[in-house]
Amino acid sequence: MGKEIDKYVKQTYPIKCKGRNEIGDEVLNNSTKVEIEIHKRPGSNTISSYVNCPYNTGGHGQRCKASHPDVDKVGEGVICPYSFDIPYALETSKSLRF
């Protein structure tokens, strides 16, 4: 096995996003420039993202409000497809299966 990487690792990716609504459809006519920062902290096996976007909201930046800019959350919330914590996201997804 290779050596464990136990230092702060960060990579930033510029993307263009049209936001999402409750059923996952794009909602903005024009793409918004977004920066996605992917990182791993020392002593942690979690890989996380930080989404720098004007429509990003929620306690962990996990929701998109592009379809409803005047309110923070509709229904259960619109999940931002670029916001994640692995392996937590995979474990949550597995627990939703029947």
User: Cα(20)–Cα(26) distance, rounded to whole angstroms?
Assistant: 5
Torsion of CA 59, 61, 65, 66, to 10 degrees: 170
Asked whether the beta carbons of 83 and 20 are under 8 A apart, the reply is: no
Instruction: Give the pLDDT of residue 80.
Output: 94
What is the residue extent of each domain of the chain? Answer: 9-95
Q: Where are the alpha helices (DSSP H) in 1-98?
A: 88-95
pLDDT attached to residue 22: 92
Tokens for 29, please give them: 């006519």
DSSP output for 60-73: TS-EE-TT-TTSS-
Q: What is the pTM of this model?
A: 0.77
Please give the chain's pLDDT, 98 residues, in tens. 556 667 889 999 999 999 999 999 999 999 999 999 999 988 888 899 999 999 999 988 899 999 999 998 988 899 999 999 888 655 655 554 43
DSSP 8: -
Q: Could you tell me the two tokens for 36?
A: 């996605």
